[in-house]
Amino acid sequence: KDKEVEYGMLDYIEILVSDYREQEVVHMSMNKYDTCYGNMGRDTAIQCKTSLHP
């Protein structure tokens, strides 16, 4: 991943999502997406890729 893009994304999340609990939900979703993206050969990865959005 490009660290500059990742830091920018985190900045925007802090700006656009004011509630701390909602920010946690967004971060957890991003982590699940990244984990699924790294294991694209698995069925669960394909499922996550179609159900979770970056």
Q: What is the DSSP letter of 17?
A: -
Q: Which domain holds residue 30?
A: 3-51
Domains identified in the chain, total number: 1
Number of H helices, E strands in the chain: 3, 0
Which residues have a Cβ under 8 Å from the Cβ of 29 and sit 6 or more positions away? 52
pTM passes above 0.85:
no
Task: Express each pLDDT in 3-45 by its tens digit.
Answer: 788 788 888 888 999 998 888 888 887 776 665 555 555 665 5
